[in-house]
Amino acid sequence: MIHAVDHVSSDRTWPILRSLANEYDHVDARRAHHAAESHALIERYSGTKTWIFGVDGDELYDPARLSGFREQLLAGEWAEVFKIASNVVNCIELDPSHRSATGYPSPPSRSITKLYNFAAIESWAGDGSERLHGGTIVFRDSSGEGAVDNIGERLTWEETPLRCLHLCFLRRSSLDSQPGPEPTARPILMETEMHDRSWRGALKRRLRRRVQPAASSWKREKYMRGDLVTVDAAPFFS
């Protein structure tokens, strides 16, 4: 099942998601005025043999490897693990003509992979900033919270079964400003701006997106560690 959530977008995201939901039975499209609303859609899977994979709009996964990795999950290879993290390249450049990507790898940067085994928990409710963040997790046994497997710590980008191009420093649309010498980041919206449905709120969001900020210090610290690498991105274009 795919739960696709549109969070206060100002483009054609919602019509596209609605169209996909009408076309495919396994796609559920919703609109959310608060990011935490998306977590409510997956709480009911707690205690079931379900893997929850949270993906943002700026994440690209290798489709062939993802398909093979799914088969491994279903076969029970990670049945004792609560969370899986893996290899990521936080991109400052994506070159379609040469099928290459340049960026900062994870590790040593932070992995943004959000893949959780909901069979390991009784519940995951409470206040959270968005899905799979915050709230209170009740584990089925005391070993659950520490059961994290970071595949990237033992396998290279070439070897890993789960790898992602994280486009956090690239322009998302023609409305974003041209990147300069330093990587750019997504517009940073205050909570009050994201949830304000008035014309003033819409105007503030539009201005934020037109005046693209430089990469925040938080993103620099988490996603720009280590040396720049250039990887073969051909599998991501297939």
Query: What pLDDT digit, counting tens, does each position of 155-197 carry?
Result: 999 999 999 999 999 987 666 665 544 555 454 444 444 445 4
- Structural domain count of the chain: 3
- The whole-number pLDDT of residue 191 equals 40
Residue 84 falls within a domain, yes or no?
A: yes
Q: Are residues 118 and 20 in the same domain?
A: no
Are residue 188 and residue 150 in the same domain, yes or no?
Answer: no
Same domain? For 128 and 155 the reply is yes
Q: Is the pLDDT of residue 95 over 50?
A: yes
The percent of residues above 70 in pLDDT, for the chain, comes to 81
At 219, is the secondary structure helix, strand, or coil? helix
Clarify whether residues 154 and 210 are in a common domain: no
What mean pLDDT is predicted for residues 213-220?
71
Average pLDDT score, the chain: 85
In this structure, is residue 37 part of a structural domain?
A: no
Quick one: pLDDT at residue 127? 77
- Is 174 inside any structural domain? no
Do 123 and 6 lie in one domain? The reply is: no
Q: Is residue 23 pLDDT above 70, yes or no? A: yes
Range of the domain at 6: 1-32
* Claim to verify: residue 83 and residue 157 sit in the same structural domain: yes
pLDDT of 181 reads 43
State residue 119's pLDDT score: 95
Answer with the residue of higher pLDDT: 188 or 98: 98
**What DSSP string runs through 37-85?**
HHHHTTGGGTTSS-EEEE--TTEEE-HHHHHHHHHHHHTTTTTT-SEEE
Give the pLDDT score at 6.
92
Residue 59 lies in a domain: yes
Residue 131 lies in a domain: yes
pLDDT at 43: 93
- The pTM of the whole model exceeds 0.85: no
Mean pLDDT, residues 51-75: 94
According to the model, what pLDDT value does residue 206 have? 60
Residues shown for the chain: 238
Quick one: 104 and 150 in the same domain? yes
221 in the same domain as 203: no
Do 121 and 209 lie in one domain? The reply is no
Overall average pLDDT of the 64-87 stretch: 95
**Residue 212 pLDDT exceeds 50:** no
pLDDT of residue 218: 83
Residues 6 or more apart whose CB falls under 8 angstroms from that of 25 comprise: none
Instruction: Tell me how far apart the alpha carbons of residues 33 and 36 are, in angstroms, rounded to a whole number.
Output: 9
Q: Does 175 map to a domain?
A: no
Q: Are residues 193 and 136 in the same domain?
A: no
Judge if 86 and 142 occupy the same domain: yes
* 62 contact partners, CB below 8 Å, separation of at least 6: 162, 163, 164, 235, 236
